[in-house]
Amino acid sequence: MRVFVCLGNVPDTTTKVKFTENNSVFDNTGVQWVINPWDELALTRAMELKEDSGSSVEKVTVITVGTKSAEPTIRKALAIGADDAIRINAEPTDAYDVAAKLAGVLKNEDIGFVMCGIESCDYNGSAVGGMLSEFLNLPSVSSVSGIEVKGEKVSVSRTIDGGKEIISIDTPFVAIVQKGISIEPRIPAMRGIMMARKKPLNVVEVPDTEVLTSHKSFELPQPKPPCKIVNPENVKELFDLLQNEAKVL
């Protein structure tokens, strides 16, 4: 079976977030782009399943909506081990747009299952996975923190309050994955980096979707006030500060 992993191309977490055009557009100058951490974990799990001789996962394809500037991120996914990649050539605008475009390509593919990170670390919309399954008219499971494939049988697990829920599910379906799906993201090895150059990266065009949202403006969080250091002897001072200034006691 073929597994599709949806990749988000997001700014590195240390990026200094800035906006232009009256705080309505994210300023991407000098930004280092990385694979969305949830998607990276999903890809790592997909690779583990492919390498597991007991599973029927044979091929892992990464798919992303992005312009040519997203290609280094896609190459990294190929270096980690994905067999091929599809880049839908468009600037992603919002969750609806991305889900529609992904579905536009995926509907013609023979899907084992699709893995989507539960959210992306840029806009944190947490909506693509659900919308994608609707567009594809496929069942979906959200907050998946484990996937097992035994032959053709797939079971997913979800962490629930105080325990774990295990669901067996027929393919194809969409898995919206949470942290825990794999422990640490896989680091590409040299061999992977070299092979990534030669792996197919197919660029496809999909018709534009209707733009349903627009950003009015963004607001940056207030800078953190300076830290106050209280001498360990002055318990009273600490108490005063917590009670009267921070008003938390």
Partner 1 sequence: MFTSIIFILILSGATIIFYRKVRKIRRSINLGKDIEITDNKPLRWRRVLFIAIGQKKMLQRPVAALMHIFVYVGFIIVNMEMFEILIDGISGSHRLFSFYGKAYGIMLSIFEIITLTVMLGCMVFLVRRNLIKVNRFWSKEMTKWPRSDANIILITELLLMSAILIMNATDGILQTRPDAHYTQVGSFIISGIIQPIFSGLPSSSLIIIERFCWWFHIVGVLVFLNYIPYSKHFHVFLSFPNVYYSKLRPAGEMVNMPSITKEVKFMLEENYSDQDDDNEVVTFGAKTVRDLTWKHLMDAYSCTECGRCTSSCPANITGKKLSPRKIVMDTRDNLEEVADKLFNKKSSGKDDKKNTRSLFDFISAEELWACTTCNACTYECPVNIDPLAIILEMRRYLVLEESAAPGPLNNTFSNIENNGAPWQFSQEDRMEWAKEFMEKQKIDVPVMADLFAKNEKPEYLFWVGSSGAFDDRYKNVVKAFVKILTHLGVSYAVLGTEESSTGDVARRAGNEMLFQMQAMMNIELLNGYEVKKILTCDPHAFNTFKNEYPQYDGNYQVIHHTQFLKDQIEAGNLKVKSLIFNKKIITYHDPCYLGRANGEYDAPRRVLNFIPSEKKEMKRNKSNALCCGAGGGQMFKEAEKGDKEIFIERTEEALETGADIIVTACPYCMAMITDGIKYKDKVEDVKNYDIAEIVSLSLEI
Work out whether strand 140-150 and strand 153-160 pair parallel, antiparallel, or are unpaired: antiparallel
Nearer to partner 1, 54 or 226 (CB): 226
Within 25-84, the residues that bind partner 1 by CB under 8 A are 30, 32, 34
**Which one among 54, 161, 163, 184 touches partner 1, defined by CB under 8 A?**
184
Nearer to partner 1, 2 or 50 (CB): 50
C-alpha 197 chain-centroid distance: 23
State the nearest-atom distance from the C-beta of 30 to partner 1, in Å.
Answer: 7
Nearer to partner 1, 127 or 193 (CB): 193
Q: Which stretch binds partner 1 (CB under 8 A): 13-21, 113-121, 155-163, 240-248?
A: 13-21
Kindly write out the interface string for residues 185-204 of this chain, putting x where it contacts partner 1 by CB under 8 A and - elsewhere: -xxxxxx-xx--x-------
Nearer to partner 1, 34 or 156 (CB): 34
The Cα–Cα gap between 139 and 129 comes to 11
Which of 211, 231, 206, 218 lies closest to 26, judged by CA?
218
Buried b (16+ CB within 10 A) or exposed e, 203-218: eeeeeebeeeeeeeee
- The DSSP-derived string for 49-112 is HHH-TTB---EEEEEEEE-GGGHHHHHHHHHHT-SEEEEEES---SHHHHHHHHHHHHTTS--S
Residue 221 found at the interface with partner 1 (CB under 8 A): no
Catalog residues that contact partner 1 under the rule CB under 8 A: 12-16, 30, 32, 34, 184, 186-191, 193-194, 197
